């Protein structure tokens, strides 16, 4: 109707504004990742592609990352007083947002929130990261009761969850995902989904991963070990040191959980060496996995990745990064 009679489409305008803001936020984060503190010459182009009754936006943001150093004599004319005439005003969009947010929060507390498309659009467009625990709870229900839901319902929810996370600022993505993985009750398909998300979105965070590897819970430490093999958008010499530290943590994070002992043999006065699993079962020293609980002495099952495997992958990555960094430092006119 807006195309025919003129005027503005509120939802269309809001979506464009959200995309524009996301582009600015993303390019700011990219600049930070390569050590810059500013972006100049920013240009943003937004196009819409339609077909088959559906449409999507394509956005291109280009800018030059720079390092800005402030002069000692530089004084900003932008102070709080300059904006004092705006501090006592709020627009109607903010009131409408708060009203709808309060309604959804109340439904979430009462476990009555229905994730309709309108609800998803509100959460995604407004980047309401506080709803992530509710989203994960619902996703857990869907993935653990697949027989009760159609495959379309599950896939739609997963896709909306991915879209929601992709729209968050990188720091917020890292926080909500790692906070969930820090919870020892996170398991199964949800754990696998979050691991794939970190892998695909290049969200490995050394500090948060270190927290996982130092956790008291074995399952959480195993997550940290697996995530340590994931990639990052860029690499530097500091990243090499961080990966080396992860290797050291992995090496010390999984001590033997059983004990070594000896056991008398039948019909023989000699004793044989055994290892006692934490479940209490004594196993012959040449048996890797406990015959009762099927875990090895470090708490791993046969199908799980082991610390030595993770360390080998990380060390290979370190060698590639060091080689690439060395290549970057060779002058173009060098023949050596």
pLDDT digits (tens, 9 = 90+) for 136-185: 999 999 998 989 999 999 999 999 999 899 888 888 899 999 999 999 99
Q: Which long-range contacts (CB under 8 A, 24 or more apart) does 257-265 make?
A: 257/218, 257/295, 257/297, 257/298, 257/299, 258/290, 258/297, 260/285
C-alpha of 117 from chain center: 24
Strand partners, 66: 38
Q: Where are the alpha helices (DSSP H) in the chain?
A: 2-5, 10-33, 92-109, 117-125, 132-144, 151-167, 170-182, 188-201, 206-213, 218-227, 237-253, 307-329
Burial class (CB in 10 A: 0-12, 13-18, 19+), 161: buried
Which residue in the block uniquely carries the two structure tokens 């709020």? 90
Describe the crossing of helices 218-227 and 188-201 by its angle, rounded to 10 degrees: 30
Report how far residue 69's alpha carbon sits from residue 283's, in angstroms, rounded to the nearest whole number: 65
Q: What is the pTM of this model?
A: 0.74
Residue 6's pLDDT band (cuts 50, 70, 90):
low
Task: Please tell me the class of the 1-68 domain.
Answer: alpha beta
Q: Which of 59-63, 215-219, 291-295 has the lowest mean pLDDT?
A: 59-63
Report how far residue 97's alpha carbon sits from residue 95's, in angstroms, rounded to the nearest whole number: 5
Which residue in the block uniquely carries the two structure tokens 């997963």? 158
Q: Where are the domains of the chain?
A: 1-68, 255-299
Average pLDDT value for the chain = 86
Residue 336's pLDDT band (cuts 50, 70, 90):
very low
């Amino acid at each position: 109707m807006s195309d025919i009679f003129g005027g503005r489409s509120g939802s269309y305008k809001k979506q464009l504004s959200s995309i524009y803001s996301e582009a600015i936020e993303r390019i700011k984060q990219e600049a930070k990742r390569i050590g810059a503190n500013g972006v100049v010459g920013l240009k943003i182009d937004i196009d819409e592609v339609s077909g088959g009754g559906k449409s999507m936006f394509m956005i291109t943001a280009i800018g030059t990352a720079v390092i800005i150093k402030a002069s000692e004599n530089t004084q900003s004319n932008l102070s709080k007083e300059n904006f004092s005439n705006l501090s006592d005003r709020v627009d109607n969009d903010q009131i409408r947002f708060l009203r709808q947010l309060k309604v959804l929060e109340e439904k979430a507390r009462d476990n009555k929130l229905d994730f309709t498309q309108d609800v998803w659009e509100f959460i995604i467009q407004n980047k309401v990261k506080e709803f992530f625990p509710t989203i994960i709870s619902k996703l857990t229900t869907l993935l653990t009761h697949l027989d009760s839901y159609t495959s379309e319902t599950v896939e739609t929810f997963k896709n909306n969850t991915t879209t929601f996370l992709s729209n968050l600022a990188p720091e917020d993505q890292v926080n909500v995902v790692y906070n969930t993985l820090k919870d020892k009750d996170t398991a199964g398909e949800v754990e696998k989904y979050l691991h794939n998300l970190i892998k695909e979105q290049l969200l490995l965070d050394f500090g948060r991963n270190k927290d996982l590897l130092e956790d008291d819970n074995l399952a959480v430490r195993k997550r940290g070990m697996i995530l340590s093999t994931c990639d990052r958008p860029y690499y530097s010499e500091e990243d090499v040191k961080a990966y080396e530290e992860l290797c050291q943590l992995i090496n010390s994070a999984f001590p033997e959980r059983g004990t070594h002992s000896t056991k008398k043999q039948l019909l023989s006065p000699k004793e044989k060496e055994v290892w006692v699993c934490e479940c209490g079962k004594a196993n012959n020293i040449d048996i890797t996995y406990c015959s009762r609980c099927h875990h090895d002495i470090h708490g791993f099952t046969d199908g799980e990745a082991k610390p030595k495997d993770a360390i080998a992958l990380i060390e290979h990555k370190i060698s590639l990064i060091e080689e690439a960094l060395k290549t970057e430092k060779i002058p173009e006119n060098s023949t050596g």
